[in-house]
Structure 1
Amino acid sequence: MNFVAFERAKQGTGASRRLRNSGKTPGIVYGGSVEPQRIEVDHNALWHALKKEAFHSSVLDMELAGTTSKVLLRDVQYHPYKQLVLHIDFQRVDEKTRLHMKVPLHYSGAEESSAVKVDKCMVNPIVNELDVTCMPSDLPEFIAVDLSKLEKGASLHLKDIKLPRGVAPVIRGGQNNPVLVSVVPPLVVAEVPAADAVAPAAAADAKGKAKAKSKK
């Protein structure tokens, strides 16, 4: 994906406010061997781009002052209640340096699994994005995960899926094989036989009548 940015000369709270009032969003590009650079981006174009998953997880082409460079979206600041992007950060990409990114997981095929189709289990995704490290050229837009082999009583772990070539997971907290998807058995509701359901009601009714008779 690509977007157009413009050089931003002024900085400060007042300058940023005036920039937003003119339909632009202030931002910054940092990283690499050059100094951080202040930029501005058309707000409406940016707002629509941010709705696309790929804008958050892909290497982007940024056109600035007639030059195109590779960047990653690193941070977005939104207004608390208005549909307004207050500030945006990008990081320059070095093609020879490994990236550390969060990549979305796209699950599919659960309805075809025996866990759902036969045993009527519930499939609950626990992890929706995965921390990975890879070279910029190997960064996937998303990671597809097939759930068609799920079975009752078994969960899907990280080591159960095949990652794209050149992509390695980033493990934290000593969990080298975390659960990605859990399979929950269906809730079994015990049915009360009709005779057993009527008996307590009849007993209560008879007890009530006996109490009323004793009062007379």
Structure 2
Amino acid sequence: MDIAIKVIPALMEGVKTTLQVFMMTLVCSLPLGLLIGLAAVSRFKPVTVLINTFIWVIRGTPLLLQMIFVFFGFPLIGLTIQDRLLAVLLAFIVNYSAYFAEIFRGGIQAIPKGQYEAAKVLGLSKIQMIRKIIIPQVIKIVYPSVGNEVITLIKDTSLVYALGLSEVMKVGRIAMQREASIIPLIDVGIIYLILTGIVTLLLKLGEKKLSYYK
């Protein structure tokens, strides 16, 4: 019990990095994923081929590999990123943008063609149609899938230790080795459970609001 309490301050410092990666990735990858998803249903063939290739490559390779590639591989082509946190964020944002793009594309394609025809009859421009008709419906369709990815993102933040960042997983592992006890890892598990629990609760509240406006 003493060990569990002793390591909490260090773990809380690690949580700061975990939350920073989580929030920055979410804020940047969601809108970027939406834009890529919209581009993916374009009728312009070169764009769709490019987008499909991007999504295939990103979803087909591990996030850990992408992080290592950004930090250690980019310098080989003249693009050096010295800030490890920046390298992590770049890899996370690109990775999750691809996953969100695929989700949004599925949502866009699920909208009945009659909705597009109705928008034309009403004389709406493409931008107005996307903003007033497409996006609100897509959000309701993809919300559960996006929620699952958000929860996965919390757990994926544990990968950032590979680049030496002191997030909660790395702090817990160091504490376990120092104290020769598994208790710090139990603390880490509890922290992740609390974080995923809070996010799950917020997602359910958001789902209720979306249901209210149906």
More strand as a share of residues: 1
- Larger RCO, structure (CA 8 Å, separation 6 or more): 2
**Which TM-score applies when normalising by structure 2?**
0.24
**Which TM-score applies when normalising by structure 1?**
0.24
More helix as a share of residues: 2
Larger Rg belongs to: 1
